[in-house]
Structure 1
Amino acid sequence: MRITVISGGEPGARFTRGLLDHLEHHPDLGGAEVTVIANTGDDISLWGLRLCPDLDLLVEALGTAGGAGSSHVVGDELAALGLEPQWYPVSDREMGVHVARTAWLGRGDSLSQVTAHLARTRGVPDTVRILPMSDVPVETHVVLDGPEDQRAVHVQQWRRELASPGAARFVVAGLDRAHPGTEVLDAVRSADVVLLPPSDPVLALGIVLGVPGVRDALRGTSAPVVGVSPVVDDVPAPQPLAASLATVGVVTSGGVAGLFKDLLDGWVVDPADAGAAPAGSRWATAAHTAPLAESAPADVAATALAHALSLRS
């Protein structure tokens, strides 16, 4: 079975880790191949280095070479020297990855090649591929309304230093020039199942779907496309998710699903929202057995996968 996951941020990494755990403990699903297509709209250049936060989250979550207890000597030294910015914390282990990635990109390797090498060295299983959505650099910026005018900041600064204030809109630099790699489109077109984790639908999944060709491939795949709601209708969404959803006027689980209405076949929701699917929607809703926010990632992934498999017949 070929499973393709469209991932972004920590929710995507946790969901995918949970999916692997679920597959590992169910022999009937043994041999499944998992391809993760990752958002690279959070990528940023700092201190002369190229940082890819979502790719690194996936490699760390899915690999076996854990980095617990990594020191922060380099980051502390950068701060002591007054090198800006200081709002992006970095461990020595992470700094090593950033230096290596920048060196390999500088010699002409593609981001896909670099990511594959990092995955192998970090112990990501051979049955798992991590693919950047594009090898073309893409960066997301947030336009903020000021007292006199607007200003734009990188999405990383918006989250980490400014604590995700209200945004007027998002601008994704380079997205119009980006193109998915052959492996990305093949992973969607040849999939048996496509899963959308509860990642930010605007700043994670929305960025991946904005790469020319990806959304069309999802519309055209014969695989069922099943997503997991990141929100519960009666519970306010946390920041920065609430701020990103506000830019598209969405607050409910059904509203989030509506952002993917042209490609979605199934939607997994919190039990509290079991009867909240919009009338006439084309997607089949399945309620998880327990509150999504309190459930183990493996259980959430299992529900999404089971729902997708039920839609294949």
Structure 2
Amino acid sequence: MAATPTVTVVSGGVGAARFLNGLLDAIDPAKVTAVVNTGDDTQLHGLSISPDLDTIIYTLADATDPERGWGLRNETWTAMGALERFEAVRPEGSAAATRWFNLGDQDLATHFYRTARLAEGASLTEVTSEIVAAWGLGLRLLPMTDERRATVVTTTTEGDVSFQDYFVRLRHSVPVTDVRFEGAAQLSDTARHAMTSAETVVIAPSNPLVSIGPIRSLDGTDDILSARRDSVVAVSPIVGGAALKGPAARMMTELGHEASVVGVARLYASIASVLIVDPADADLADAVVAEGMRCIVTPSIMSTPKIARTLADVTLAAVSTR
């Protein structure tokens, strides 16, 4: 029997979490590392919040609220509700007691711990490892960097805003004219090693522009991936011209990209040799090939654990059998 490969997954939040669930069902979790976007990270109420890291942790721990699709099961909102009393006295321009970014009472515990450990001098990589262990997970989760690298979105209505302002406060409902990444951050040494040493690298079905984009914006990431392109496989987050969750398709159109698997191929052709697409896009397989990527068609809407597991198996086989 062939040895189980080591796999590094370049990850955003929800789509990556679902893919990782299938992957951990397919292979030993100890063989899996995820390098996770932190361009979405934010500070609220003095707390350090890492939405993509936490989404993956809660999903893999089977703790996510199944109805909302985010946050924790059986969550309560007492602390956020109590902030309402301060809204009448808050000075104009103050961000104190803001409630547009809802933090559940259980979720607050994660942010309390992260914030306190960072204040003690621990790196985000170290703190994330501790939080993963506290949730009893067997894989490695690595933030892309231990430094600040913030996604800034330029909108037609409010100018430049943070990603969380765009995604949560504005409900990603306003047109976007630009996305950029601020902060002189470096790809962490552990993330760099994970992407260079794994036998297979998977680009998760995450938003190419604001989930995978921040990781690619760090010096060296694209060089690493392009140098090992034959062992890099991407899963398209676009199915039938639409994103399964979030604004990926609309953002691609607004920023001048084609909102299709062909548009995804154009973004990834220099760093990945294979693109996995759903049967809904089987008619575009030749167009993907024309962009320089091998195209594999398999169900990619992870509506059941079985589909997620099969997608993981197909994804790994895409490069391991070449």
Output the TM-score relative to the length of structure 1. 0.88
Determine the C-alpha separation between the residues in 1 that align with 2:34 and 2:13.
12
2:167 aligned to which of 159, 166, 174: 159
Matched, 1:208 2:215: yes
Determine the C-alpha separation between the residues in 1 that align with 2:11 and 2:102.
22
Determine the C-alpha separation between the residues in 1 that align with 2:182 and 2:35.
19
Q: Secondary structure of 1:58's match?
A: helix
**Counterparts in 2 of 1:153 and 1:252: CA distance versus 1, 3 Å:** same
Q: Secondary structure of 1:168's match?
A: strand
Partner residue in 1 for 2:67: none
Determine the C-alpha separation between the residues in 2 that align with 1:303 and 1:48.
43
Partner residue in 2 for 1:281: 291
1:80-229 paired onto structure 2 within 5 Å: 80-82=85-87, 83-125=96-138, 128-146=139-157, 151-164=159-172, 165-174=174-183, 177-221=184-228, 224-229=231-236
Matched, 1:47 2:77: no
**Counterparts in 2 of 1:84 and 1:241: CA distance versus 1, 3 Å:** farther
2:313 aligned to which of 288, 302, 305: 302
Matched, 1:74 2:79: yes
**Cα drift, residue 78 of structure 1:** 2.2
Amino-acid identity (%):
29
**Counterparts in 2 of 1:266 and 1:308: CA distance versus 1, 3 Å:** same
Partner letter of residue 147 of structure 2?
Answer: V
1:255-294 paired onto structure 2 within 5 Å: 255-276=263-284, 277-278=286-287, 279-288=289-298, 290=299, 292=301, 294=303
Q: RMSD of the alignment, in Å?
A: 2.1
**Cα drift, residue 31 of structure 1:** 7.3
Determine the C-alpha separation between the residues in 2 that align with 1:154 and 1:65.
27
Determine the C-alpha separation between the residues in 1 that align with 2:17 and 2:97.
28
Partner letter of residue 155 of structure 1?
Answer: F
Determine the C-alpha separation between the residues in 2 that align with 1:31 and 1:81.
45
2:259 aligned to which of 248, 251, 256: 251
Q: Is the 8 A contact 1:194 1:223 kept in 2?
A: no
**Cα drift, residue 272 of structure 1:** 2.7
Q: Is the 8 A contact 2:215 2:221 kept in 1?
A: yes
Determine the C-alpha separation between the residues in 2 that align with 1:169 and 1:274.
31
Partner residue in 1 for 2:92: none
2:12 aligned to which of 8, 12, 19: 8
Partner residue in 1 for 2:69: none
Unpaired segments ≥5 residues, structure 1: 24-29
Determine the C-alpha separation between the residues in 1 that align with 2:188 and 2:30.
22
Q: Secondary structure of 2:237's match?
A: coil
Q: Secondary structure of 1:292's match?
A: coil
Matched, 1:38 2:36: yes
Partner residue in 2 for 1:27: none
